[in-house]
């Protein structure tokens, strides 16, 4: 162990050789008690050093040596890390209490009983004089409670060899007696009573404790602001903003954001274009903070990043194009309600935090992590306001039809986000049609104009049918499939109208298409969603970018916690 310590402080190769020798000697001692070695290492802060060296030995010095591999498995650095950061105690019993807990007050006589029979250490979270007569140790900083993952007070730990060997939470006489080996505890007390929440898991304090004791989990570069620097201005000056104010990503805010996912901060989610940078959960969380997301939105943002950075969706090309398109996010499933997303009035507009910040977070990841900035790789001639954020939910409850994600193959009730490469929405007004055929013809006339009335099949489109229009189809018994089929018929266009020069317009298809009849949309190229306010005989269309293998495919992904 001494050699380990030396090696940790020395850079010479010689000392590393000594480590190998020392370990060789240790290994020959078959009777060695590894628990003792481990505890000694932990107490002398050598646990990590030891684990690193075992990894080194297993990997380089003793290839194929089963013993070393076994040891390496036992002493995984992550385990060692956890163990090393847990505080150790003298053998015996350790109790965590607070005065502000009736159960802790109730068990005071039990603690005194235990102190007579065994070595008892008491940590108190609020009042350092409580419980009286037991010389409690002050844990009002909550470090001991945090490091030992105390969730309830009272908690009683049994400690042997410096490590925890058992715990009881709340007051349960039988458990306390089994743990302590002392009988007849608290004869005047009820047999059991639940405890209270530990202050170390108090929602108001938990994040601060995480920042104090676990901020090493965050790997992002730390940017320290100058004393007189305005933090809002600082984010603009460093180029992190899309042009609107962003929320400064402090450790506290990022820690809190990460509580929204079960994924590890270091897990790589995607390789983000255009710089092709590996992006971990943590970086997405930092950008979600910038965007103004709540932690519960984070899984949607992570899934959107995953979906965007696929070869099919081709976020690279969508960013670089001169066309006015960007990622459009459509959220389906119960999570829409859980997050309070808007699928109704003003669905594409301002005012809903989830809609706007989720869409914005994806764009900020592409900007900041991927390096995709307007005027650089982003070559858009016009762009559109939706490139700040364009995310909405489908109104599934009010819809007469299947939701979009089910159309794309998801099981009903699945939480999904679908990415579509889209321009800004355009309105379709028809306040007169009450028959489905008439309304379908209105849709067809408007859809025909997408990007150019003479350009076909190259661009997909989202048709967002408003509730009052959807009712016209529903009342006549038109399914979504029937509507799409009818639109396909209405949008079968003679090549003579589409070729270059037709209608006196040079733009169009090559001459050899003259005799053909072509559909406006490729099969599956028209995606129908139901959303919008309940008043207004309107629908909307969101035109796409170059589709298919040449450009971008809509991509749907299931949202996981």
Partner 1 sequence: MSANQSEGPRRVLLDPTGERNPDVTRARLPRLARLEGARVGLLDISKPRGDIFLNRLEQLLLERGVKVERFTKPTFTKPAPLDLRQKIATTCDAVIEALAD
Interface positions with partner 1 (CB under 8 A): 218, 220-225, 227-229, 231, 234-235, 240, 248-251, 254, 272-273, 275, 277, 279, 283, 286-287, 290, 311, 314, 316-318, 320-321, 364, 368-371, 546, 549-552
- We find the least distance from the C-beta atom of residue 216 to partner 1, in angstroms, to be 13
To partner 1, the closest distance from the beta carbon of 287 in angstroms equals 5
Residue 174 CB, shortest distance to partner 1, in Å, is 48
Which of residues 13 and 222 has its CB atom nearest to partner 1 in the complex?
222
CA quadruple 547, 437, 348, 561: dihedral positive or negative? negative
Which CB atom, from 425 or from 544, has the smaller least distance to partner 1?
Answer: 544
Q: Cβ atoms within 10 A of the Cβ of 293, count?
A: 27
Tokens representing 417 are 């986000």
* C-alpha dist (Å) from residue 368 to 108, 254, 318, 385, 423: 56, 16, 16, 19, 22
Residues 491-495: contacts with CB under 8 Å, at least 24 apart? 491/444, 491/447, 491/448, 491/519, 491/520, 491/521, 492/517, 492/518, 492/519, 493/448, 493/456, 493/517, 493/518, 493/519, 493/520
What is the β-pairing status of strands 517-519 and 277-280?
unpaired
Of the two residues 249 and 333, which places its CB atom closer to partner 1 in the complex?
Answer: 249
**What is the DSSP pairing of strand 152-153 with strand 171-172?**
unpaired
What is the nearest approach in angstroms of partner 1 to the Cβ of residue 257? 10
CA distance 10 to 136: 40
* Residue 228 structure tokens: 């007189």
The span from the first CA to the last CA of the chain, in angstroms, equals 42
508 close to 502: Cβ distance less than 8 angstroms: yes
CB of residue 50 to partner 1, shortest distance in Å:
31
Dmax over CA atoms of the chain, in Å, equals 103
To the nearest whole angstrom, how small is the minimum distance from the Cβ of residue 372 to partner 1?
Answer: 10
Smallest gap from Cβ 52 to partner 1, in A, equals 25
Complex with partner 1: residue 248 or 488, whichever CB lies closer = 248
CB of 494 to partner 1, least distance (A): 23
Our CB check for partner 1 shows the closer of 154 and 372 to be: 372
In angstroms, rounded to a whole number, what is the distance separating the alpha carbons of residues 259 and 269? 17
Q: Which is nearer to partner 1, 186 or 265 (CB)?
A: 265
| Residue closer to partner 1 (CB basis): 249 or 425 | 249
User: Minimum CB separation from partner 1 for residue 248, in Å?
Assistant: 5
Residue whose pair of structure tokens reads 């730390």 in the numeric block = 222
H/E stretch holding 163 reads: strand 163-169
Q: Which residue, 73 or 230, is less far from partner 1 as judged by CB?
A: 230
Q: Which residues of 251-279 are buried (b: 16+ CB within 10 A; e: fewer)?
A: bebbbbbbebbebebeeebbebbbeeeeb
CB of 227 to partner 1, least distance (A): 5
CA angle 398, 350, 259 (to 5 degrees): 85
Compute the distance between CA of residue 105 and CA of residue 95 in angstroms, rounded to an integer: 13
> Least Å distance between CB 226 and partner 1?
9
97 membership: H or E segment, kind and range: strand 92-97
- 15: phi then psi, degrees, rounded to nearest 5: -65, -30
CB of 324 to partner 1, least distance (A): 15
CA nearest to 536, candidates 467, 473, 490: 467
Identify which of residues 153 and 257 has a Cβ nearer to partner 1 in the complex. Answer: 257
Smaller CB distance to partner 1: residue 279 or 559? Answer: 279
Q: CB nearer to partner 1: give 97 or 366.
A: 366
DSSP letter string over 356-424? HHHHHHHHHIIIIIS---BTTTB--SS--GGGT--EEE---TT-SS--HHHHTTPPTT--EEEEEEEEE
Q: The dihedral of CA 368, 308, 465, 321: what is its sign?
A: positive
Closer of 33 and 229 to partner 1 (Cβ) = 229
CB of 230 to partner 1, least distance (A): 10
């Amino acid at each position: 162990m001494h050699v380990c310590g030396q090696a940790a402080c020395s850079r010479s190769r010689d000392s590393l050789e000594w480590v190998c020798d020392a370990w060789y000697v240790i290994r020959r001692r078959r009777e060695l008690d590894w628990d003792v070695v481990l505890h000694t290492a932990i107490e002398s802060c050598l646990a990590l050093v030891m684990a690193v060296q075992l990894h080194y030995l297993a990997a380089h010095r003793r290839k194929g040596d089963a013993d070393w591999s076994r040891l390496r498995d036992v002493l995984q650095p992550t385990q060692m890390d956890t163990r090393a950061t847990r505080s150790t105690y003298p053998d015996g019993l350790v109790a965590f209490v607070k005065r502000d807990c009736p159960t802790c007050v109730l068990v005071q006589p039990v603690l005194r009983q235990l102190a007579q029979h065994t070595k008892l250490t008491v940590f108190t979270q609020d009042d350092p004089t409580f419980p009286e007569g037991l010389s409690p140790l002050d844990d009002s900083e909550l470090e001991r409670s945090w490091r030992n993952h105390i969730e309830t007070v009272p908690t009683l730990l049994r400690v042997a060899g410096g490590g925890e060997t058992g715990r009881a939470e709340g007051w349960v006489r039988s458990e306390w007696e089994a743990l302590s080996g002392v009988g007849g505890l608290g004869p005047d007390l009820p047999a059991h009573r639940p405890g209270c929440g530990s202050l170390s898991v108090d929602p108001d304090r938990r994040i601060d404790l995480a920042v104090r004791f676990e901020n090493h989990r965050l790997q992002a570069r730390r940017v320290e602001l100058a004393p007189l620097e305005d933090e809002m201005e600082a984010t603009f000056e460093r180029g992190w903003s899309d042009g609107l104010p962003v929320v400064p990503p402090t450790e506290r805010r990022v820690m809190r954001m990460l509580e929204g996912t079960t994924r590890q901060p270091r897990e790589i989610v995607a390789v983000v274009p255009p710089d092709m940078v590996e992006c971990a959960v943590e970086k997405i969380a930092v950008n979600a903070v910038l965007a103004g997301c709540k932690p519960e939105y984070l899984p949607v943002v992570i899934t959107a990043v995953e979906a965007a950075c696929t070869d099919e969706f081709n976020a690279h090309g969508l960013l670089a194009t001169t066309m006015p398109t960007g990622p459009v996010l459509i959220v389906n499933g119960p999570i829409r309600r859980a997050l309070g997303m808007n699928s109704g009035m003003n669905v594409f507009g301002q005012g809903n935090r989830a809609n706007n910040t989720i869409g914005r977070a994806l764009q900020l990841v592409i900007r900041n992590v991927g390096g995709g900035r307007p005027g650089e790789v982003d070559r858009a001639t016009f762009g559109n306001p939706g490139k700040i954020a364009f995310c909405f939910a489908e109104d599934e409850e009010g819809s007469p039809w299947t939701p979009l994600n089910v159309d794309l193959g998801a099981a009903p009730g699945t939480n999904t986000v679908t990415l579509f490469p889209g321009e800004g929405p355009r309105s379709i007004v028809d306040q007169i049609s009450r028959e489905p055929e008439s309304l379908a013809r209105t849709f067809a006339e408007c859809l025909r104009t997408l990007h150019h009335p003479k350009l076909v099949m190259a661009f997909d489109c989202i048709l967002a049918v408003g509730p009052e229009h959807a009712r016209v189809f529903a009342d006549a018994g038109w399914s979504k499939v029937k509507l799409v089929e009818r639109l396909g018929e209405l949008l079968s266009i003679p090549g003579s109208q589409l070729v270059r020069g037709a209608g006196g317009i040079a733009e169009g298809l090559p001459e050899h298409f003259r005799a053909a009849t072509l559909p406006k949309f490729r099969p599956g190229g028209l995606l129908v969603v139901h959303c919008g306010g309940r008043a207004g005989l309107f629908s909307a269309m969101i035109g796409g970018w170059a589709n298919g293998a040449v450009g971008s495919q809509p991509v749907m992904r299931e949202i996981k916690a």
